[in-house]
């Protein structure tokens, strides 16, 4: 006899994330990392509210500095981001004027209890280290009470060492940040899902590849790289049919396999990018930073956890140039890249991230990119909590 309420049948093969227990538990993000929150130009004297890795945070600028505080007045739980500045270097809760020092988070005055208020100095709201990089304000979400990690050690090394110009988008998105990170580094979907994007309208996408994932070296030792050993532009699937993304209007695909760009062997590679010696087109680092090396620019994605069901997508396109060339990049970015790549193309990813529902899951050969990333996350985070 079978019953009407039998559980969903599990097929053989990997179904869950138990091999990566820290990763499995990190639905709201890993703590102990820096996260980009918003464009620095949007942080003003009027506080703004964000949730990053499950923490409610109020951002406020004062005297040219940016401060991040836990967005909850300990008195009665009112968000401090609803308040404003009554004194320089402070923020006051809108309800009773509890006033906190922006630097230390200490309650330094209680307007409605007078200068002798006995509670002053006895209450502190948590503050978070902030930094400015890539035109954005970053916040460090600590594991415990440790000093913040070096933000530059967390960022791609090539950005610290070379002048560049950039354009980008920050978007709140649905779906867990891990699906966004996995999607970003995912070998398999790019060729198939994005074959219909406007960004690829004249470029043939491969049908299938043979891919390895290798660890980075030197300044890239925190990264893993996807290396394409074979690129196949068409295929005959036995008993099913022929499949190719080749079309008469698309540029003919190249003969050689390549690891910069993914639609053709480039004539010229930007010297800064060439100098990096990236072993592969796509690379990924904790806590969710993707790097895609095109011949003339690098695209970065930062997957910023909000809560278990939402993340912030930060997409940045960088061109290692200066002076008049910078203007050329801005024209190209605003005229095309922003709409085609950070818009239409990236919206296909956002769609899949939103509907992905795993585990359970059944992995296939190209998912080596997913399992390598999960292992990277697990190993790096294990070391981090061991040393904290």
Taken in order 382, 313, 308, 186, the sign of the CA dihedral is negative
- CB closer to a second copy out of 144 and 323: 144
Binding mask 194-213 for a second copy (x = CB under 8 A): -------------xxxx---
Q: Identify the residue among 193, 227, 272, 308 touching a second copy (CB under 8 A).
A: 193
> Minimum distance between the CB of residue 25 and a second copy, rounded to whole angstroms?
7
Positions in 317-346 near a second copy (CB under 8 A) = none
Residue 8 or 252 with smaller CB distance to a second copy: 8
Nearest approach, Cβ of 90 to a second copy (angstroms)?
7
Q: Which stretch binds a second copy (CB under 8 A): 61-69, 132-140, 229-237, 285-293?
A: 229-237
Could you tell me the smallest distance in angstroms from the CB atom of residue 207 to a second copy? Answer: 6
Q: Which residues contact 354 (CB under 8 A, 6 or more apart)?
A: 173, 174, 175
Q: Which is nearer to a second copy, 143 or 170 (CB)?
A: 143
Q: Show the site string, 357-376: x = touches a second copy by CB under 8 A, - = not.
A: xx-xxxxxxx----------
Measure the CA–CA gap between 136 and 35, rounded to whole angstroms: 10
| Comparison of 66 and 81: residue with beta carbon closer to a second copy | 81
- Total residues interacting with a second copy, rule: CB under 8 A: 84
Cβ 109 to a second copy, closest distance in Å?
Answer: 4
Residue ranges in 232-251 that form contacts with a second copy under rule CB under 8 A? 232, 235-241, 243
Q: By 3-state DSSP, what share of the chain in percent is helix, strand and coil, each rounded to 5? A: 30, 30, 40
* Rounded least distance, CB 288 to a second copy, Å: 15
Tokens describing residue 370? 């997913």
Q: Give the number of residues written for the chain.
A: 388
Residue with smaller CB distance to a second copy, 222 or 384: 384
Task: Quickly list H helices, the chain.
Answer: 21-25, 151-154, 157-161, 177-185, 187-193, 271-276, 324-332, 346-355, 368-386
Indicate whether 4 belongs to the interface with a second copy (CB under 8 A). yes
Choices 147-155, 230-238, 253-261, 274-282 (CB under 8 A): range interacting with a second copy: 230-238
Q: Which stretch binds a second copy (CB under 8 A): 24-32, 215-223, 303-311, 326-334?
A: 24-32
For Cα atoms 229, 230, 236, give the angle at the middle one, nearest 5 degrees: 155
Minimum CB distance to a second copy smaller for 290 or for 370 = 370
Q: Which residue number, 108 or 293, has a Cβ lying nearer to a second copy?
A: 108
Which residues, 107 to 146, sit near a second copy by CB under 8 A? Answer: 108-115, 117-119, 122-124, 143-146
292 C-beta neighbours (distance < 10 Å), count: 23
| Residue 13 beta carbon to a second copy: minimum distance, rounded to whole angstroms | 7
Look up residue 33 and give its two tokens.
């990392």
SS3 of 141-193: the string is ECCCCCCCCCHHHHCCHHHHHCCCEEEEEEEEEECCHHHHHHHHHCHHHHHHH
The piece of 161-169, 170-178, 181-189, 293-301 that touches a second copy (CB under 8 A) is 181-189
Q: How far is the CB of 241 from a second copy (least distance, A)?
A: 4
Closest of 194, 208, 370 to residue 282, by C-alpha: 370
Q: Are strands 282-285 and 48-52 parallel, antiparallel or unpaired?
A: unpaired
Closer to a second copy by CB, 12 or 323: give it: 12
List strand residue ranges (DSSP E) for 27-159, in order. 33-39, 48-52, 55-62, 65-70, 90-92, 98-101, 107-110, 127-128, 130-133, 136-141
Which of these segments, 165-173, 231-239, 279-287, 299-307, binds a second copy (CB under 8 A)? 231-239
Instruction: Map the footprint of a second copy across residues 42-101, applying CB under 8 A.
Output: 72, 74-79, 82, 86-88, 90, 94-99
Distance in angstroms between the alpha carbons of the first and the last residue of the chain: 55
Question: What's the token pair of residue 141?
Answer: 């979400």
The tokens of 63 are what?
């005297």
C-alpha 66/C-alpha 254 separation (Å) is 49
Number of continuous H segments (helices) and E segments (strands) in the chain = 9, 19
Q: Residue 180 Cβ, how far from a second copy at the closest point, in Å?
A: 13
């Amino acid at each position: 006899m079978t019953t009407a309420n039998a559980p969903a049948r599990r097929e053989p093969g990997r179904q869950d994330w138990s091999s990566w227990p820290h990763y499995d538990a990190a639905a709201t993000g890993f703590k102990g990392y820096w996260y980009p929150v918003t464009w620095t130009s949007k942080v003003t004297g009027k506080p703004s509210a964000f949730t990053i890795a499950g923490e409610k945070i109020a951002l406020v600028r004062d005297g040219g500095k940016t401060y991040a505080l836990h967005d909850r007045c300990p008195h009665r739980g009112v968000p401090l981001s609803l308040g404003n500045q009554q004194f320089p270097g402070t923020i006051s809760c809108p309800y009773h004027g509890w006033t906190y020092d922006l630097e230390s988070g200490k309650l330094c005055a209680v307007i409605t209890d007078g200068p002798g208020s006995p509670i002053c100095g006895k209450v502190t709201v948590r503050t978070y280290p902030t930094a400015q990089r890539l035109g954005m304000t970053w916040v460090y979400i600590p594991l415990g009470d440790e000093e913040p990690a070096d933000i530059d050690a967390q960022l791609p090394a090539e950005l610290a060492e070379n002048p560049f110009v950039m354009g980008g988008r920050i978007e709140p998105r649905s779906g867990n940040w891990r699906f966004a990170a996995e999607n970003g580094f995912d070998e398999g979907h790019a060729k198939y899902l994005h074959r219909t994007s406007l960004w690829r309208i004249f470029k043939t996408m491969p049908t299938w590849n043979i891919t390895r994932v290798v660890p980075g070296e030197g300044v890239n030792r925190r990264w893993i790289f996807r290396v394409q050993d074979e690129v196949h532009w068409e295929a005959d699937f036995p008993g099913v049919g022929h499949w190719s993304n080749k079309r008469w209007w698309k540029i003919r695909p190249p003969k050689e396999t390549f690891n910069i760009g993914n639609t053709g062997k480039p004539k010229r590679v930007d010297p800064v990018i060439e100098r990096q010696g990236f072993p592969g087109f796509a690379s990924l680092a904790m806590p969710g930073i993707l790097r895609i090396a095109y011949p003339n620019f690098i695209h970065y994605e930062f997957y910023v956890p909000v809560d278990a069901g939402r993340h912030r997508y930060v997409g940045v396109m960088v061109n290692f140039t200066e002076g008049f060339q910078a203007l050329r990049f801005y024209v190209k970015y605003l005229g095309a890249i922003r709409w085609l790549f950070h818009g239409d193309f990236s919206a296909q990813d956002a769609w899949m991230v939103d509907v992905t529902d795993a585990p359970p899951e059944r992995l296939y050969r190209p998912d080596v990119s997913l399992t390598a990333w999960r292992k990277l996350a697990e190993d790096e985070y294990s070391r981090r909590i061991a040393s904290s």
